[in-house]
Amino acid sequence: MEKIPNQKAWFLVLPVFALVAFSAVIPLMTVVNYSVQDTFGNNKFFWNGIGWYQELLSPSTELGGRFFASLWRNLAFSAIVLAIEMPLGIVIALAMPREGWGVAFSLVVLALPLLIPWNVVGTIWQIFGRTDIGLLGYTLHWLGSDYNYVASPLDAWLTIIAMDVWHWSSLVALLCYAGLKSIPEAFYQAASIDGASRWAVFWAIQLPKMKRVLLIAGLLRFMDSFMIYTEPFVVTGGGPGNSTTFLSIELVKLALGQFDLGKAAAMSIVYMLIIIIVCWVYYTVMTNAGEDRGSARGGP
């Protein structure tokens, strides 16, 4: 659809602009402000230039070491959950019924984990994985495994990954399901007349139709897994040791735990920049994909 140039449209956007600017720009300026200052307490601040940033970005310092360790950990976590949740979501979407009472039932069950408060998600898995009172931990012990997410870093990671798959695979599945539903029945009839195999239908019809929703799903999943805080914090508290301390956990420790405002602020800025750059690249790819679709169909 062609858009009309009209500068008065700014008036329609103004309320949103004002409110978001109020809750984004003012706090962000506070963060920038802290990131270039140091304090000896008593609310007396002095100029520190880019000192915090230098410390943060050199892995040899204590702060830099912590930052990079949690950054790699978080990237590994995001990569693993994306690698599991995206294919799993596609498979679940393909397995969903198309009509009948099963549709509403599976939609409701799938959406359920998405509406559980994040700390309750953590609580559920904290209980579920415990070897004394949790079904999962107890069963694994009974089977002879020495599973213990409190003591073993590997088990802690497995628990948190299982939790994230449990929590968010549905989002990918529901998005893909929406993509699949938009495929007209005629496409399948044409494919069957041509004698196309099941695999060919997936590859040539279903996957291209899901491309756009998969891009949205990937974007949302990357952002949220990169910002993850509450769920692992409830389950492991970042431990054992620092093995599940992701970026947000490290940041909250610095800012609200140690009140190291300068360091925390510098870390916040770098953290946000990483997310925004990744998402900008992603968003550009996504918008281009959308334009391709529009021109191919020649419609709105």
Residues 216-235 that bind other proteins (CB under 8 A): 216, 223, 226-227, 229-230
How many residues touch other proteins under the rule CB under 8 A: the total is 100
Helix (H) or strand (E) holding 45: strand 45-47
Which one of the spans 75-83, 146-154, 164-172, 237-245 is the region binding other proteins (CB under 8 A)?
A: 164-172
Q: Which is nearer to other proteins, 60 or 63 (CB)?
A: 63
Q: Copy the structure tokens of residue 133.
A: 């009172």
Q: Quick one: which of 52, 77, 157, 177 contacts other proteins (CB under 8 A)?
A: 177
- Tokens standing for residue 142: 């009974």
Half-sphere exposure at residue 253, Cβ-oriented, CA atoms within 13 angstroms: 16
- CA–CA distance, 89 with 109 (Å, rounded to integer): 14
| 106 lies in the site for other proteins, by CB under 8 A | yes
Residue 278 CB, shortest distance to other proteins, in Å, is: 9
- Could you say which of 61, 72, 146, 181 contacts other proteins (CB under 8 A)? 181
Minimum distance from residue 178 beta carbon to other proteins (Å): 4
Restricted to residues 35-54, the positions that interact with other proteins (CB under 8 A) are: none
Residue closer to other proteins, measured from CB, 80 or 279: 279
The packing angle between helices 207-226 and 153-181, to 10°, is 140
Q: Does 101 contact other proteins by CB under 8 A?
A: no
CB distance 238 to 244 below 8 Å = yes
* Bridge partner list, 45: 39
Scanning residues 239 to 258, which ones bind other proteins (CB under 8 A)? 247-248, 251-252, 255-256
User: What burial letters (b/e) apply to 213-229, b meaning 16+ CB within 10 Å?
Assistant: bbbbbbbebbebbbebb
Taking the complex as a whole, the smallest distance from the CB of residue 245 to other proteins amounts, in Å, to 12
For 114-146, give the DSSP string: GGS-HHHHHHHHHHHH-TTT-HHHHHHHHTT--
Task: Identify the residue among 61, 258, 283, 285 touching other proteins (CB under 8 A).
Answer: 283
